[in-house]
Amino acid sequence: MDPLKRVTPLFYLAIILLNFTHNTYASTTQDFPVPPDIANSNIQEVRDADAILTSAQFRQTLHKFANGLTPEEIAQQSLFNKIALLSLRSDVQTINKIAAQQHALYTYAHYQFYHQSVLALQDAPDTDFNHIAASVIETELAKLDDKQFVKMNMALGWSVSNARTYVFNLFKQAQQESSLSKDELLNIAVNCQLYYVLADIIPVANAVITQQQHRRFIIEPNTVVNLDSDLTLSTTIVRRRDQSNPASTALQYTIYADESAHIKTAMNAAAHGYIGIVANSRGKRSSKNRVVPWEHEGEDAAKLIKWIAKQNWSNGKVVMYGGSYNGFTQWAAAKHMPKALKAIAPYVAANLITGLPYENNIALTGNFEWPIYAASNSTLDDSVYSDWQRTNDIVDTLYTSGRPIVDIDKLAGRPSPWLQKWLAHPQSDSYYQAMVPYQTDYQRINIPVLTITGYFEGGQISALDYFYEHYKYNSNANHALLIGPYNHWTAQNVPRSHHSNYALDPVALKKDTEDLVFRWFDHVLEDKPKPELVQNTVNYQLMGANEWRFADSIDLLNKQNIPFFIQPLEPNEVQPYKLGRQLSRHAGRYLEQIVDMSDRTEQRNLAPWPIIQDTLDTQGGLHIETPVFEQDMELTGSITGFFDIAVNKRDVDIGFNYYHILPDGRVFHLNNYRSRASHADSNESRKLLEPDQLTRVPIVNARFTSKLIPKGSKIALVLNVNKNRDAQVNLGTGGPVNHEHISQAGELLKLRWYLSSQINLPLKRYTEQPKN
């Protein structure tokens, strides 16, 4: 997993960064002193990190630490960590060998260029480092064709300022500790070395790249397009210099205004034979309109597509691609179906009501500052994500104080009108439905669509919701899904060797999202062969089997399930409760949880991190598990079924953590589920519960995953009330949850889970695929 964003932070940046701070690959109990340069510094602002970073003593500490690691300890690390540690040890030969073996020659080019330059400097000690580095980089870039050049350009698209901000946050965290674990010190060493390398290489590389890219491409960095009397949009347009005939246009439409990033994106499209265009939302860059996120993107993009089709360099065909917010804008444009739009490829596509800030009608705290970051000026407010501790403190204070989620911007000391507007719409209504296709709108979307998302992707629910709705309302939909062990960032880019402490299968590393998407566009527009990983409607990576598999439909996968039921305890039996294949003769019995909703010293239904752990933490929930499987099984799809519950409140947010218990007893966290009982039947209307009356609550929008479950394994769920810092707390009053205060908690919540509940696990016998 890659602990820094390239170019611009994306929609789930806050959540991703919180995960990075706990990234662990080889656990250890050994403690180390906090480096004196960190412990004794006054670290309040990002610039305060500079004194530490420039300290010779601190750099010596990092080198000593890296050189003290055993080969076995380095081998256990993710590829990202491993390369940085080898760089600290000046082991250039091994870096080059690993990069070649992992097909990562571009990914870690910054380290290779750095060490090539250092070695060259030894032979010419009187020469300036920047001069030598420029020569090294220029020589290598000159060998590349346009596609390779752009790939290298994007691989070198690191932000030095983001790297500096990252280590600043690590230093602040370390100051809170009396000592550091080996993993914590390793995280500091790896990211400081990354910063040192980037600070030396990236400014030089940018200068060399700028010279070469203008020799290869015609670049219009900021063309203002007047679409009607009161709408202007800024665009970046790139064409190959040898492009003589009109061509198809590949368009990204984004609110993330960053001209240098747009040039790289559009160049990549041009290198693949397209006219590359990145257009910004109204109000961004040179647009004179007011910044309005989400609401007008579809109509504005549709107008722009019509304009593109009329240009002399256009052949009248436009395709759209991109991820997160840029995935949303594709669906927004498709709602209006401009004639020139021929295909879309949304990855991890966002949606306000099914992704962030809402998931199954529960308002989430993650990325609450996004409106300030993306919509407060004509570019971006990078200060928003610069201090993790501040953001963490705000979210923690909201949870522990019990204030309603509408107060979160007050706690941040910065009013957020857009966030407040969305919090005023807690269910799917005409406000959201006007932005993206709704029901019969999908009948008009008959162009090919490729959705890409991941098992560990925070916005998987919104990405798959578009997929499900398209097929639900359009029997002629031509819509493929590619899904694998990716998070919000890696689903959109080239994956890294690990997600958390899980090492991805080698075949999962084959996905280069943009390269794959352009090959898919070539297939759609020019009838070229399909990409290897997109062979059917559903294309998924079976974790643990090192296989990609292909299916005709996601419904078929979900229907290949085994129903399980909670079994009553035997007289001397203790937890975990068992999941059995037969409905209990005591289906009227139940398991009861009693929860103090005003107690904020505990958290329930929090997703664990790292995802592979030695033991299962129930967080006060009900641990239920299957018997041990006596044969290898394939788990592919989403949990379906229902919970029969009764609660002494008018509403409750329920959920579960979903685990694979490995034969050796370790637990692999598959995903997390949370749902509001009053909205389980519909995200458009709320139906309050009758206190203490049995209610059937369907399992809706459970996340999709796929994993080989070897013989000797078990599947476990921990059922719980959703009460944690990651989301608002539903106190069950029946009033607007966004305004509920801890003072309204009332009596203890009593939740009954009835044995008549049915949990359909998407399990089937594993059959090995024939080898090609």
Q: Are residues 339 and 479 in the same domain?
A: yes
Shortest CA distance to 749 belongs to which of 726, 720, 717, 718? 720
First to last CA, the chain: 31
pLDDT of residue 585: 84
- Burial class, 743, CB count within 10 angstroms (exposed 0-12 / middle 13-18 / buried 19+): exposed
Shortest CA distance to 367 belongs to which of 4, 17, 20, 739? 17
pLDDT of residue 584: 85
Judge contact between 233 and 256, C-beta under 8 A. Answer: no
Chain centre distance of CA 111? 26
pLDDT of residue 182: 94
3-state class of 345 per DSSP?
Answer: strand
Residue 124 CA to residue 138 CA, distance in Å, equals 18
Does a structural domain hold residue 704?
A: yes
Q: Which tokens belong to 616?
A: 């299962």
Query: How many C-alpha atoms does 657 have within 13 Å on its Cβ side?
Result: 26
Q: Are residues 738 and 617 in the same domain?
A: yes
Judge contact between 252 and 234, C-beta under 8 A. Answer: no
The label of the residue with tokens 């073996």 reads 101
Strand partners, 272: none
pLDDT of residue 61: 96
Residue 403 CA to residue 400 CA, distance in Å, equals 8
pLDDT of residue 23: 40
Instruction: Determine the Cα angle at 586 with ends 583 and 592, to 5°.
Output: 105
Chain centre distance of CA 384? 19
8-state DSSP, 59: H
Q: Are residues 506 and 576 in the same domain?
A: no
Domain count for the chain, please give it: 4
8-state DSSP, 55: -
Residue 133 CA to residue 138 CA, distance in Å, equals 8
Shortest CA distance to 249 belongs to which of 362, 333, 171, 140? 333
Does a structural domain hold residue 224?
A: no
Host H or E run for residue 549: strand 547-551
Residue 187 CA to residue 167 CA, distance in Å, equals 9
Inter-helix orientation angle 109-123/79-88, to 10°: 10
Residue 754 CA to residue 417 CA, distance in Å, equals 42
Judge contact between 706 and 455, C-beta under 8 A. Answer: yes
Query: How many C-alpha atoms does 651 have within 13 Å on its Cβ side?
Result: 23
DSSP codes of every residue in 245-312:
S-EEEEEEEES---HHHHHHHHHHHHHTTSEEEEEEPTTSTT--SPP-TTTTHHHHHHHHHHHHHTST
pLDDT of residue 186: 96
Residue 329 CA to residue 322 CA, distance in Å, equals 9
Does a structural domain hold residue 8?
A: no
3-state class of 338 per DSSP?
Answer: coil
pLDDT of residue 22: 38
SS3 of 204-227: the string is HHHHHHHHHHHHHEEEEEEEEEEE
Residue 281 CA to residue 279 CA, distance in Å, equals 7
Amino acid identity, residue 633?
A: M
Does a structural domain hold residue 5?
A: no
Judge contact between 706 and 634, C-beta under 8 A. Answer: yes
Q: Are residues 84 and 150 in the same domain?
A: yes
Q: Are residues 54 and 156 in the same domain?
A: yes
211, 245, 267 - which closes a domain:
211
The CATH number for 436's domain is 3.40.50.1820
502, 528, 552 - which closes a domain:
552
Q: Are residues 659 and 741 in the same domain?
A: yes
Q: Are residues 369 and 336 in the same domain?
A: no
Helices (H) and strands (E) in the chain, counts: 23, 31
Q: Are residues 506 and 370 in the same domain?
A: no
Q: Are residues 750 and 660 in the same domain?
A: yes
Residue 505 CA to residue 459 CA, distance in Å, equals 22
Amino acid identity, residue 488?
A: H
Phi, psi of 670 (to 5 degrees): -85, -50
8-state DSSP, 197: H
CB within 8 Å of 588: residues ≥ 6 apart:
754, 755, 756
What is the gyration radius of the CA atoms in the chain, in angstroms? 26
Judge contact between 475 and 515, C-beta under 8 A. Answer: no
Does a structural domain hold residue 476?
A: yes
Q: Are residues 524 and 585 in the same domain?
A: no
Does a structural domain hold residue 222?
A: no
pLDDT < 70 positions in the chain: 1-29, 102-104, 570-575, 772
405, 423, 441 - which closes a domain:
423
CB within 8 Å of 464: residues ≥ 6 apart:
451, 453, 481, 554, 701, 704
Chain centre distance of CA 60? 35
Q: Are residues 118 and 166 in the same domain?
A: yes
Judge contact between 166 and 9, C-beta under 8 A. Answer: no
Which range of residues forms the domain containing residue 368? Answer: 362-423
Does a structural domain hold residue 41?
A: yes
3-state class of 477 per DSSP?
Answer: coil
- Taking CB atoms within 8 Å and a gap of at least 24, the contacts of 473-476 are 473/439, 473/440, 473/441, 473/442, 473/443, 474/442, 474/443, 474/445, 474/446, 476/446
Q: Are residues 77 and 50 in the same domain?
A: yes
Does a structural domain hold residue 221?
A: no
